[in-house]
Amino acid sequence: MTDLRRPLVAGNWKMNGLRADGLARTRALVDKAGKRPPAIDILICPPATLLTTIGRALGGRRGAIALGAQDCAPRTSGAHTGDIAAPMLADAGCRYVILGHSERRGDHRETSALVRAKATAALDSGLTPIVCVGETAAQRRAGKTLAVVRNQLARSLPEAAVARPFVVAYEPVWAIGSGHTPTPAEVGKVHGALRAWLEGRLGERAAAVRLLYGGSVNGANAQALMAVANVDGGLIGGASLKVDEFWSICVATAGNRKTTRRPARKQGGKVKR
Ligand code: PEP
């Protein structure tokens, strides 16, 4: 039996943290992971100013906890003051980059077309993009959740994603930082729809794409949310700033680990297993 989707718990620190507290948090996490390594992937995405410092504290590329960024530019170099290119992030030790977070789609008016260009740049630089999608409260009330997330994903995923690893995060905008979450059944419905959409686009490869849930995940609700079918981990904002809380989410996710079989292949009309 092959585990196609090792769960991933990613901490998005957003615009929080100076060197001293970022380092203290990282060292405490590294210590916990060293004593009791959970059978999942763990990722920290600090602000860009701390990437090098936190990357070093994580033990570099070989460290058990991966380093990621919160955004990247769609171009790889040039006269773009204030932007950070994907090759620079890879050079700084990043393995992942969060793209299309609703705070960037909202605060910076990022369109899905821009997210797609950024995801292309990330893939070309060897980074794994975490592409975020999610509906607003008004869209949810109007019953448009599935249409919105499918549409965002269709427009945000680059052609190159057909052949390279990427992660999708379902983050309802109304759940982020609000203390409210969809029910596990609602999360299951959205994740099931995203998986089905990916199957239409990628075929068998869709089974390897990790789908994260994000939005007010904490130590108390992680167990129920991470147990949902097609939830392969979480994107964690506020709770990732508290070491014990973040760690309890990692432990709950590891405890709920699901083993995902590679889909059966048809051969000569027969299903090969
Ligand atoms: C996020 O912003 O990615 C997020 C999930 O935030 P929070 O966990 O604080 O809701």
- pLDDT for residue 269: 37
CATH fold for domain 2-272: TIM Barrel (3.20.20)
Residues with CB under 6 A from ligand 1: 12, 171, 176-177, 214-217, 235-239
- pLDDT for residue 262: 62
For residue 188, how many C-alpha atoms fall within 13 Å in the half-sphere facing its CB?
9
The domain ranges of the chain are 2-272
Structure tokens at 152: 């965002």
Q: What is the pLDDT of residues 89-100, one digit of tens each?
A: 999 999 999 999
- pLDDT for residue 4: 83
Q: Which residue has the higher pLDDT, 261 or 257?
A: 257
65-69 and 96-99 beta bridge pairing: parallel
Q: Which of 80, 171, 180, 199 is catalytic?
A: 171
For residue 158, how many C-alpha atoms fall within 13 Å in the half-sphere facing its CB?
24
Nearest CA, atom 4, ligand 1 = 237
Cα–Cα distance for residue pair 92/48, rounded to 1 Å: 10
The mean pLDDT value of the chain amounts to 93
Q: What's the distance, Cα to Cα, between the start and end of the chain in Å?
A: 10
Residue 2 in this model has a pLDDT that exceeds 60: no
Cα–Cα distance for residue pair 111/92, rounded to 1 Å: 27
pLDDT tier, 37 (very low <50, low <70, confident <90, very high otherwise) = confident
Determine phi and psi for 192, rounding to 5 degrees: -65, -40
pTM: 0.93
Q: What is the pLDDT of residues 109-119, one digit of tens each?
A: 999 999 999 99
The number of the ligand 1 atom at minimal distance from the alpha carbon of 14 is 2
- pLDDT for residue 273: 31
Mean pLDDT computed over 26-40: 93
pLDDT tier, 265 (very low <50, low <70, confident <90, very high otherwise) = low
- Residue identified by tokens 């490869």 is 205
Any catalytic annotation for residue 101? Answer: yes
Q: Which of 80, 101, 135, 204 is catalytic?
A: 101
Mean pLDDT computed over 26-47: 94
Asked if 95 contacts 122 with a C-beta cutoff of 8 angstroms, the reply is no
Smallest CA-to-CA distance from 54 within 22, 30, 28, 32 is with 22
* Angular region, 128: left φ>0, alpha ψ -120 to 50, beta rest: beta
Is residue 136 classed as helix, strand or coil in its secondary structure?
coil
Residue 268 in this model has a pLDDT that exceeds 50: no
Nearest CA, atom 3, ligand 1 = 237
Give the distance from CA 180 to its chain's centroid: 19
- pLDDT for residue 260: 67
Buried b (16+ CB within 10 A) or exposed e, 185-223: eebbbbbebbbebbeeebeebbbbbbbbbbbbbbbebbe
Residue 63 in this model has a pLDDT that exceeds 80: yes
Q: Which residue has the higher pLDDT, 145 or 272?
A: 145
pLDDT tier, 20 (very low <50, low <70, confident <90, very high otherwise) = very high
- pLDDT for residue 271: 33
Q: What is the pLDDT of residues 138-158, one digit of tens each?
A: 999 999 999 999 999 999 999
Ligand 1 centre and the CA of 134: distance in Å? 12
pLDDT tier, 263 (very low <50, low <70, confident <90, very high otherwise) = low
- pLDDT for residue 252: 96
pLDDT tier, 38 (very low <50, low <70, confident <90, very high otherwise) = confident
